[in-house]
A = this chain, B = another copy of it.
Amino acid sequence: MPDKTKISKRIIERLSEYRTTLEEIDIHGNRNIYSHDLAKLCGVTAAQVRRDLMNIGFSGSSARGYDVPELLQNVTNFLGFGEERRMVLVGIGHLGRALLDFFVDRNPKLVLCAAFDVNEMRVNRVIHGVRCYPVSVMGEVVAEMQAQMGIITVPESAAQDVASTLVESGVTGLLNFAPVQLRVPSHVFVENLNISTVLEKVAYFAGQSAEKER
Protein backbone atom coordinates (compact mmCIF):
# COMPACT_ATOMS: atom_id res chain seq x y z
CA MET A 1 0.00 0.00 0.00
CA PRO A 2 1.94 3.02 -1.20
CA ASP A 3 0.15 5.36 1.14
CA LYS A 4 0.83 8.77 -0.31
CA THR A 5 -1.68 11.43 0.65
CA LYS A 6 -1.90 12.42 4.25
CA ILE A 7 -5.24 11.37 5.59
CA SER A 8 -6.67 13.43 8.42
CA LYS A 9 -7.81 12.22 11.80
CA ARG A 10 -11.35 13.13 10.94
CA ILE A 11 -11.43 10.93 7.88
CA ILE A 12 -9.95 7.99 9.76
CA GLU A 13 -12.64 8.32 12.41
CA ARG A 14 -15.35 8.20 9.82
CA LEU A 15 -13.75 5.29 8.02
CA SER A 16 -13.70 3.40 11.28
CA GLU A 17 -17.38 4.10 11.69
CA TYR A 18 -18.14 3.00 8.16
CA ARG A 19 -16.22 -0.17 8.87
CA THR A 20 -18.22 -1.05 11.97
CA THR A 21 -21.46 -0.31 10.16
CA LEU A 22 -20.42 -2.29 7.08
CA GLU A 23 -19.63 -5.30 9.22
CA GLU A 24 -23.18 -5.35 10.47
CA ILE A 25 -24.59 -4.85 7.01
CA ASP A 26 -22.38 -7.63 5.71
CA ILE A 27 -23.48 -10.05 8.42
CA HIS A 28 -27.04 -9.14 7.56
CA GLY A 29 -26.33 -10.41 4.06
CA ASN A 30 -26.84 -7.20 2.10
CA ARG A 31 -24.52 -7.18 -0.90
CA ASN A 32 -24.73 -3.52 -1.87
CA ILE A 33 -25.24 -0.12 -0.30
CA TYR A 34 -25.66 3.41 -1.55
CA SER A 35 -23.65 6.30 -0.20
CA HIS A 36 -26.90 7.80 0.93
CA ASP A 37 -27.83 4.85 3.12
CA LEU A 38 -24.41 4.36 4.62
CA ALA A 39 -24.38 8.06 5.36
CA LYS A 40 -27.65 7.90 7.22
CA LEU A 41 -26.51 4.96 9.30
CA CYS A 42 -23.34 6.81 10.26
CA GLY A 43 -24.87 10.22 10.76
CA VAL A 44 -23.03 12.02 7.96
CA THR A 45 -23.93 13.25 4.47
CA ALA A 46 -23.83 11.18 1.32
CA ALA A 47 -21.35 13.53 -0.30
CA GLN A 48 -19.08 13.03 2.67
CA VAL A 49 -19.16 9.28 2.28
CA ARG A 50 -18.36 9.48 -1.41
CA ARG A 51 -15.56 11.95 -0.78
CA ASP A 52 -14.06 9.78 1.94
CA LEU A 53 -14.15 6.66 -0.20
CA MET A 54 -12.64 8.62 -3.04
CA ASN A 55 -9.83 9.54 -0.67
CA ILE A 56 -8.96 5.92 -0.12
CA GLY A 57 -9.37 5.17 -3.80
CA PHE A 58 -12.47 3.04 -3.67
CA SER A 59 -15.08 3.08 -6.42
CA GLY A 60 -18.69 1.93 -6.53
CA SER A 61 -21.11 1.47 -9.37
CA SER A 62 -23.65 4.04 -10.38
CA ALA A 63 -26.42 1.49 -10.43
CA ARG A 64 -25.74 -0.68 -7.43
CA GLY A 65 -23.80 1.65 -5.18
CA TYR A 66 -20.96 0.03 -3.30
CA ASP A 67 -20.23 -3.67 -3.02
CA VAL A 68 -20.40 -4.28 0.71
CA PRO A 69 -17.89 -7.13 1.20
CA GLU A 70 -15.41 -5.49 -1.14
CA LEU A 71 -15.70 -2.10 0.53
CA LEU A 72 -15.43 -3.64 3.97
CA GLN A 73 -12.27 -5.43 2.90
CA ASN A 74 -10.83 -2.23 1.45
CA VAL A 75 -11.57 -0.06 4.46
CA THR A 76 -10.27 -2.73 6.80
CA ASN A 77 -7.04 -2.97 4.88
CA PHE A 78 -6.71 0.76 4.65
CA LEU A 79 -7.03 1.10 8.38
CA GLY A 80 -4.22 -1.41 8.75
CA PHE A 81 -6.16 -4.36 10.09
CA GLY A 82 -4.77 -6.67 7.48
CA GLU A 83 -2.39 -7.80 10.17
CA GLU A 84 -2.80 -8.15 13.90
CA ARG A 85 -2.06 -5.19 16.16
CA ARG A 86 -1.12 -5.69 19.75
CA MET A 87 -1.91 -3.30 22.55
CA VAL A 88 -1.50 -3.14 26.30
CA LEU A 89 -3.46 -1.47 29.06
CA VAL A 90 -1.89 0.21 32.07
CA GLY A 91 -3.92 0.83 35.21
CA ILE A 92 -6.33 -1.91 36.23
CA GLY A 93 -8.67 0.32 38.21
CA HIS A 94 -12.32 1.11 37.67
CA LEU A 95 -11.96 2.26 34.12
CA GLY A 96 -9.25 -0.22 33.21
CA ARG A 97 -11.38 -3.15 34.24
CA ALA A 98 -14.38 -1.87 32.31
CA LEU A 99 -12.17 -1.69 29.24
CA LEU A 100 -10.75 -5.17 29.81
CA ASP A 101 -14.31 -6.43 29.64
CA PHE A 102 -15.14 -4.27 26.66
CA PHE A 103 -12.33 -5.55 24.45
CA VAL A 104 -13.38 -9.15 24.71
CA ASP A 105 -14.18 -10.16 21.12
CA ARG A 106 -14.22 -6.62 19.78
CA ASN A 107 -11.90 -6.38 16.84
CA PRO A 108 -10.04 -9.65 16.20
CA LYS A 109 -7.12 -7.73 14.71
CA LEU A 110 -6.75 -5.43 17.69
CA VAL A 111 -5.51 -7.65 20.48
CA LEU A 112 -5.19 -6.56 24.06
CA CYS A 113 -2.25 -8.74 25.00
CA ALA A 114 -1.33 -7.60 28.51
CA ALA A 115 -2.33 -5.32 31.37
CA PHE A 116 -0.22 -3.72 34.09
CA ASP A 117 -0.72 -2.20 37.50
CA VAL A 118 1.45 -0.97 40.31
CA ASN A 119 -0.85 -2.51 42.88
CA GLU A 120 0.31 -6.05 43.62
CA MET A 121 -3.22 -7.08 44.54
CA ARG A 122 -4.36 -6.53 40.98
CA VAL A 123 -1.75 -8.45 39.06
CA ASN A 124 -0.43 -11.96 38.46
CA ARG A 125 -3.76 -13.19 37.27
CA VAL A 126 -5.94 -13.24 34.17
CA ILE A 127 -8.90 -10.87 33.79
CA HIS A 128 -11.24 -11.37 30.87
CA GLY A 129 -8.56 -13.40 29.15
CA VAL A 130 -5.85 -10.79 29.60
CA ARG A 131 -2.76 -11.54 31.66
CA CYS A 132 -1.95 -8.91 34.29
CA TYR A 133 1.61 -8.04 35.27
CA PRO A 134 3.24 -5.73 37.78
CA VAL A 135 4.48 -2.46 36.24
CA SER A 136 8.03 -3.39 37.15
CA VAL A 137 8.18 -5.73 34.17
CA MET A 138 6.21 -3.49 31.83
CA GLY A 139 9.05 -2.32 29.62
CA GLU A 140 10.33 -5.82 29.20
CA VAL A 141 6.96 -7.43 28.43
CA VAL A 142 5.87 -4.70 26.03
CA ALA A 143 9.09 -4.95 24.06
CA GLU A 144 8.94 -8.71 23.96
CA MET A 145 5.35 -8.76 22.75
CA GLN A 146 6.10 -5.97 20.30
CA ALA A 147 2.99 -4.12 21.36
CA GLN A 148 2.37 -1.06 19.24
CA MET A 149 -0.28 0.68 21.29
CA GLY A 150 -0.87 1.55 24.91
CA ILE A 151 -4.05 2.48 26.76
CA ILE A 152 -3.38 4.63 29.81
CA THR A 153 -5.89 4.42 32.66
CA VAL A 154 -3.71 5.36 35.61
CA PRO A 155 -4.12 8.45 37.78
CA GLU A 156 -2.99 11.74 36.33
CA SER A 157 0.16 11.78 38.42
CA ALA A 158 1.45 8.50 36.98
CA ALA A 159 0.45 8.99 33.36
CA GLN A 160 3.60 10.70 32.11
CA ASP A 161 5.93 8.07 33.54
CA VAL A 162 3.84 5.29 32.13
CA ALA A 163 3.77 6.96 28.73
CA SER A 164 7.53 7.41 28.69
CA THR A 165 8.15 3.79 29.57
CA LEU A 166 5.75 2.58 26.91
CA VAL A 167 7.36 4.76 24.27
CA GLU A 168 10.83 3.55 25.23
CA SER A 169 9.60 0.03 24.77
CA GLY A 170 8.47 0.65 21.22
CA VAL A 171 4.88 1.82 21.51
CA THR A 172 3.93 4.35 18.81
CA GLY A 173 0.30 5.02 19.67
CA LEU A 174 -1.31 6.00 22.96
CA LEU A 175 -4.88 6.32 24.07
CA ASN A 176 -4.74 8.42 27.20
CA PHE A 177 -7.67 8.68 29.61
CA ALA A 178 -5.76 10.67 32.23
CA PRO A 179 -6.53 14.40 32.07
CA VAL A 180 -2.99 15.50 31.38
CA GLN A 181 -1.04 16.56 28.32
CA LEU A 182 1.57 13.88 27.65
CA ARG A 183 5.00 14.80 26.37
CA VAL A 184 6.21 12.24 23.85
CA PRO A 185 8.52 12.17 20.82
CA SER A 186 6.90 13.46 17.66
CA HIS A 187 6.70 10.06 16.01
CA VAL A 188 4.27 8.88 18.69
CA PHE A 189 0.57 9.45 18.14
CA VAL A 190 -1.40 10.43 21.23
CA GLU A 191 -5.15 10.59 21.53
CA ASN A 192 -6.43 12.17 24.71
CA LEU A 193 -9.85 11.10 25.77
CA ASN A 194 -10.86 13.49 28.49
CA ILE A 195 -14.33 12.52 29.61
CA SER A 196 -14.76 15.68 31.66
CA THR A 197 -14.22 17.75 28.56
CA VAL A 198 -16.71 15.74 26.58
CA LEU A 199 -19.27 16.08 29.35
CA GLU A 200 -18.78 19.79 29.65
CA LYS A 201 -19.37 20.07 25.95
CA VAL A 202 -22.62 18.15 26.30
CA ALA A 203 -23.56 20.36 29.24
CA TYR A 204 -22.98 23.50 27.21
CA PHE A 205 -25.06 22.41 24.25
CA ALA A 206 -27.75 20.86 26.45
CA GLY A 207 -28.03 24.29 28.02
CA GLN A 208 -28.24 25.96 24.62
CA SER A 209 -31.03 23.62 23.56
CA ALA A 210 -32.97 24.13 26.76
CA GLU A 211 -32.71 27.87 26.26
CA LYS A 212 -33.97 27.69 22.71
CA GLU A 213 -36.88 25.51 23.74
CA ARG A 214 -38.44 28.21 25.85
Contact = CB atoms under 8 A, between A and B. Distances in A.
A174 interface: yes
A173 B97 contact: no
Interface string A188-211: 110111111111111111111111
> Which applies to chain A's interface (DSSP): helix, strand, loop or mixed?
helix
A25 interface: no
Given A205-B189, A210-B148, A16 B197 contact: yes
Interface of A: 3-4, 9, 12-13, 16-17, 19-20, 41-43, 79-81, 85, 87, 94-95, 97-99, 101-102, 106-107, 110, 148-149, 151, 171-175, 179, 181, 187-189, 191-213
Contact of A202 (B43, B173, B213): B173
